Amino acid sequence: MLTDAVVWRIAGGVVGAALKSAPVKNTALRAVGREPLQLAVKNSLAKALEVLQERHPGWTGSLFDASFLEHEAAPLIARVITRGQQVVPADLARSYVRSLSSSGERLPLVREVEPAATTFLEAFTAAITSESAAGPVLDARAIDELRTDLAAVRAALGAGAATEATTWDYLDWAIDRNLHLDPRGTFQTQRQVKLRLEEIFVSLDAAVLNELNGPDTEHDEPSASESSGSRVVLGWKTVLGAHPQVVVLGDPGAGKTTLLRHLALANARALADPDAPREDLPEGRVRLPVLIRIGDYAQDETWRRSSLTDFLEKFHDLADCPADALGDLFTQRLANGDVLILLDGLDEITTVTDRTGVVKRVEEFVRRHAGAGNRFVITSRVAGYREVPLTGDFVHFRARDMDREQIEGFLRRWCLAVEQAQAPHASAELHRGAAGAEVSAILAAVDHAPGVARLAVNPLMLRILALIHSTGAQLPQKRIELYRLAADTLARTWRTAQGVPASALAEERHVTRLLGDLAYWIHSNRPDGMARHDEILQVLGPRWAKINGQPWDEEDPSPTVLSEVEKFLATVRVHTGLFVERAPGRYGFLHLTFQEYYAARYLVALPRRRIGLIRAQLHDPRWQEPILLALGFTGLSSAEASNDLVAAAVLALGDEDEEPAPTPHEELLGRDFLFALRCLADEIPVDRPLAEKLLGQAAEELMHCQGRAQYSGYRASVLAVLSSMQSASYREVLAGRFLQAVPGGSEQRCRWIGAAAVVAAEPRMLEQLLEFSVGADRQVQFHAAGALATWVPEIESRILDLSRDESVDLGVRARLVAAWAEAGMPGLQVEERLVQFSLDPGLDPLGRAQVLLGLEVTAETVGQLLELGKDPKLTSAEELMVLTSLAQEAGDPRVGDRLLVLSRDETQDLSLRDAAIGALGRASSSPETTEYLLELISAPELEPLLRSRAVKALNRADGRQQVNDRLLAWAADEAQPAVVRSSAVAALGERPLTDEVTQVLLPLACDTQQGSALRAAVLTALGWADRRTPGLAEWLLKVGSDPETELALRRPALVAWIQLAGWDLASRLIGDLDPGRTDCLIGSLSCCLQSSERILGVRARPAVQLLFYLRLRQPVVDFVPLVNLMLTPHLGARGAVVDELVKVGASPVHHVQVCELLLAALDDTRFGEIGRPHGRPARDYAYDALRRLLADEV
């Protein structure tokens, strides 16, 4: 025990800390005096230490020693006697853990110290409250709260529940796990170079993938730019701040995993330390990060036995997370919306069946926990994702390649960090000098070698380039050359450069053959990329024995062989870092890239089996990269061999006796053909005639859209591959084929431009597109300008030259530059030309307006545009076009004022007034606008189109409460015309309803004396009520499934029910329905989906999911009505039908039947009709479903 003198000194520290609190210093201390208060604290400390000695004797001498109590603990203990402050046991426990020096021994967990800290605080609190001298200082209410908090901690500890200490231990583990670039052992050798993640992390950009986002973004004809992502480019910080559910797609090595680990580290640090930097985090609250490899969830079909919620705790047990009561911690945090779920590697799941099951589990998890406010980020490679994509509210982005500035920034961080790690005792000046020289040399190679430049845009490839360059080797031009050189560098060159004798390294022939066998086995059998020690010996034992001419018996393995294999593995782990221990007792390659490289070496190791091995895995997305690497490796030694292998193994061409059969449904799906195009894009050596044949066929299909090319999904795949081609000769061939068949009609030319844009930068194609961009056809003009805009900066100078050519009409030149800016890629010189055109008095009003819209919106440009609206040469429709564009971004009240004038003008066309009212809702929320919109709603004779638009425009109105009061009064006033009452209700339903509004509306819905239109409007609006409203969801379902209720009421009731209930409650309520109501519900949902009014809106997807759920529960499942749902006018519902059919069709029980129905739909004329302008025909959706279902068939 501590002496009285020591305890007195500690008490002085506690009182000193308390004195820093202004309330104590100014009031209570003056009444008590410092010395009496210090004596009271000293007595209380002594009693607390006695209790601690009795209950936790092991901690008395170590935890509560004099140094800790006097320095770290004193400010925390002082909170007990300080008004307005609180302390919890976890604070004291964590302070102790952090006070210990890290001597290499395991530090105690905060949770391990928490019971002793709780006992100490309980005892000290009891003692200090009995000291009369402390009475004036203490806050009775705060003491009561502290006692309550301590009792809660004590109860949680006794029940094994989560406490604050659980959170601290988890955060410490998460920080430590993600602190360095690769905790699994990147280049894990005897001289480990561990780089801190924050020192080398460079935030990259994301491109919006429109074709995967939302129900209404699917276009009839995908363009070349759309096939690889939208022109909308954002930083990840912006993306993650704006979207609660994000899918990150990217190529191998694009930085997807690094992004998730950075997010986990940054969020964990921000929670652990409020003063930690947050510049890389999105705005808003910080959440508890939970990072999981999806491959671990798929391992051994865990997903079949365990929900993702249940797996969270199990995963962290496997990952050696030391925190107790993790399950309870996650449950609490998820319920509060405080979790950031990071799921890495959806592509690592090997089969479509497993991917379908895991995706369903993930979607169930997200539906269950999204409503509370949790956020979700999921990564996947692009290859294979579209076969089983995530649905619902996920927004899809693609990790963009690094640009020159980002490459330089990454290299500067990387090279400096490596220099500091490898030469820690050198001066900062030497570090900067050596790193700067390395960066300059690598950048010189990037700038002058096109092959190196193409590789350097990928973060992993750039790291490998930097590693290879540091050995003095010449940087390669091709990806396969880079992988081979990187593997050799890690296996031999790098270590010999560090002074390791060659005799200590594994023989290259052993490394390649044995790691090839191991990589092939792991890639085939372990989606998580890890194998147990005994599995490795089972794979390598027979191979080692064969190489060395030793006997091998699987039943009785040779100890000598096993010993030699063990030695080989140890040498590989110690000296290469290629194959490392990634978890206790589990081993794998340092990165999936190297696993794929060695699997590729296995595929082509023996000529006689090459074709069979490649053909067997050709269309498995997981094997796409190894096969491309295998073909590329063959081409390094023989172009003829790689050509023959592509012809035989990919295209199923060869001698009649040896020719393999094409992939099933090749004429419809074209999978062999698409893979052959990928071979060209990967620059695998292929004979010129074969390359020209493939490229010519691709161009023909895109231009004529016949056969399988009539389906936009197939065309998008072709465009995506062609867009990625870097070979100048191939691009010239493509350009020539397109230019041989330039069509004449406007619509045909627009489609032609969408295809030919993949080679827009080729000189002859550039001239043709420029000719179109200055032509008379406005639609063709803007398509051409948009195509040209995807090739900045290659053709910017050509555009600018044309804009100065006075032989070209002024208006045409101005519109060309404006279209260029509108396409999203204006440069500084383009901006200058726009300004010049805007000042040219010879330009017509519409051309000048388009030019001004291309400039940055300022008060000056808004004024100029509004002044243009007065020009009699500008039609009202053209003026409205300008105003609508301004309404989306200007925020200028003058725009709203002018729109108000146009919308009031009864001499204008009805559609123009309708558009003006819609734009008004976006441009203005002024009181005058609000009054005008209310005036429209209350006018009984108003055109229904204008009334509906006014209802939606009110959503942005000022003074929402006052507006709600008036609308509610109209809704309840039986003297008002029925149409006014219904419109008022519809306007109320544009936003979540308050309890007050719900209580007024609910009786109207139940009142059978009210008109059907009013009751239907009320039912629809109730979907925005509070989900906690007792019995509301049940009542809405009762109305929607009642055969006696008219359909006009059943439909809005179901729309509201879907909105209100959510999946969990909805599926549970459905299970309680009797057969009659179930049949009625199926009919009503089907009517909702078939309605031309598209009444479901964003609720179309859950409606489809519920309809599938209902039909699949029936004794005999009829899939014909489910396939026919693709005829719905709801485009979002069509996509949902595809997703549900794929999930159902993945089951062997239903696979054949679903595929046959989809094949029949392709020939059904009803499926060829386009439901609305710019929509895709239902046949397109059937094709998408069929292609995804057949993805696993070979």
| pLDDT tens-digit series, residues 153-176 | 999 888 888 899 999 999 999 998
CB neighbour list of residue 228: distance below 8 Å, 6 or more residues apart:
207, 398, 719, 720, 723, 724
- Per residue in 915-961, pLDDT (tens digit) is 777 777 777 777 888 888 888 888 888 787 777 778 877 766 555 67
pLDDT score at 219? 35
What is the pairing mode between strands 579-583 and 395-399?
unpaired
Higher-pLDDT residue of 319 and 216 is 319
Residue 232 tokens read as 């909308």
- Structure tokens given for 861: 């440009």
Of 1022, 1028, 1026, the closest CA to residue 1038 belongs to 1022
Q: Average pLDDT of 369-374?
A: 87
Residue range 994-999: average pLDDT? 87
- 86 Cβ contact list (under 8 Å, min separation 6): 79, 142, 145, 146, 149
Cβ density class 102-117: b for 16+ within 10 Å, e for less: eeeeeebbbbbbbbbb
Can the peptide bond before residue 793 be classed as cis, meaning omega within 30 degrees of 0?
yes
Check residue 671 and give its pLDDT: 94
How many Cα atoms within 13 Å fall on the side-chain side of residue 613?
22
- pLDDT confidence of residue 869: 66
- pLDDT tens readout for residues 760-793: 888 888 889 888 877 777 788 778 877 776 665 5
Alpha helices in 724-871 (DSSP H): 728-739, 746-756, 763-773, 778-789, 796-803, 810-822, 828-838, 845-854, 859-868
pLDDT digit string, tens, across residues 1013-1022: 899 999 988 9
683: left (phi over 0), alpha (psi -120 to 50) or beta: left
Contacts of 132 by beta carbon, 8 Å cutoff, 6+ apart: 40
What does the pLDDT read at residue 1061? 81
Structure tokens given for 179: 């602190």
Residues 875-901 have a mean pLDDT of 69
- Kindly tell me if the per-residue pLDDT of 210 is higher than 60: no
pLDDT at 188: 36
Rounded to the nearest integer, the mean pLDDT of the chain is 82
| Structure confidence at residue 644 as a pLDDT band (50, 70, 90) | very high
Mean pLDDT of 1045-1049: 91
A 10 A CB-CB count for 63 gives 22
Read off the tokens for 614.
């490649």
In the chain, pLDDT over 90 holds for what percent of residues? 28
* From 25-34, 297-306, 995-1004, 1112-1121, the region with the lowest mean pLDDT: 25-34
Residue carrying structure tokens 């640009």: 403
Asked whether the predicted pLDDT for residue 1183 surpasses 90, the reply is: yes
Task: Report helix, strand or coil for 502.
Answer: helix
**Tokens at residue 627, please?**
């096969």
pLDDT band at 562 (very low <50, low <70, confident <90, very high): very high
CA nearest 615: which of 554, 655, 658, 662?
662
Residues 6+ apart with CB under 8 A from 692: 733
- For the residues 714-732, what does the mean pLDDT come to? 91
Q: Residues 1084-1110: what's their mean pLDDT?
A: 83
Sign of CA pseudo-dihedral 951, 953, 956, 962: negative
Element (H, E) at 250: strand 245-250
Helix, strand, coil share (%) of the chain residues, nearest 5: 65, 5, 30
pLDDT(596) > 90: yes
- Mean pLDDT computed over 103-111: 70
Q: Is the pLDDT of residue 61 over 60?
A: no
What burial class does residue 219 get, using C-beta atoms within 10 Å of its C-beta: 0-12 exposed, 13-18 middle, 19+ buried? Answer: middle
Q: Which two tokens stand for residue 1136?
A: 């949902």
Q: Encoding tokens for residue 178?
A: 């993600």
Contact in structure between 816 and 796 (CB atoms under 8 Å): no
The pLDDT value recorded for residue 338 is 94
State mean pLDDT over 623-650. 95
Percent of the chain with pLDDT over 70: 83
Q: What is the pLDDT of residue 54?
A: 87
- Displacement of CA 942 from its chain's centroid (Å): 45
State the pLDDT confidence band at 993, using cuts at 50, 70 and 90: confident
* Residue 881 vs residue 1172, higher pLDDT: 881
> Average pLDDT in the 838-846 region?
65
Name the band, by pLDDT with cuts 50, 70 and 90, for residue 337.
Answer: very high
Q: Which residues of 341-354 are buried (b: 16+ CB within 10 A; e: fewer)?
A: bbbbbbbbbbbbbb
The two tokens of residue 746 are 């406007």
Please say whether the beta carbons of 1102 and 1081 come within 8 A.
Answer: no
- Residue 525 reports pLDDT greater than 80: yes
Does residue 305 sit in helix, strand or coil?
A: helix
Alpha carbon distance 775, 468 (integer Å): 52
Alpha carbon distances (Å) from 1010 to 836, 1004, 1017, 1036: 63, 7, 11, 17
Rounded to the nearest 5 degrees, what angle is found at the Cα of 50, between the Cα atoms of 49 and 53? Answer: 85
Of the candidate ranges 410-419, 475-484, 571-580, the one whose mean pLDDT is the lowest: 571-580
Between these two residues, 257 and 953, which has the higher pLDDT value?
257
Interatomic CA distance for residues 702 and 416, integer angstroms: 48
Q: For residue 815, is pLDDT > 70?
A: no
pLDDT surpasses 70 at 833? no
For residue 785, the number of C-alpha atoms closer than 13 Å in the C-beta half-sphere is 28
Residue length, the chain?
Answer: 1194
Q: Helix or strand or coil: residue 201?
A: coil
Tell which residue, 857, 856, 791, 778, has the closest CA to residue 819: 778
Q: Tell me, what's the pLDDT at 247?
A: 93
Closest CA to 1084 of 1026, 1041, 1117: 1041
Q: In the prediction, which pLDDT does 853 show?
A: 61
pLDDT digits (tens, 9 = 90+) for 81-102: 886 678 889 999 888 888 876 5
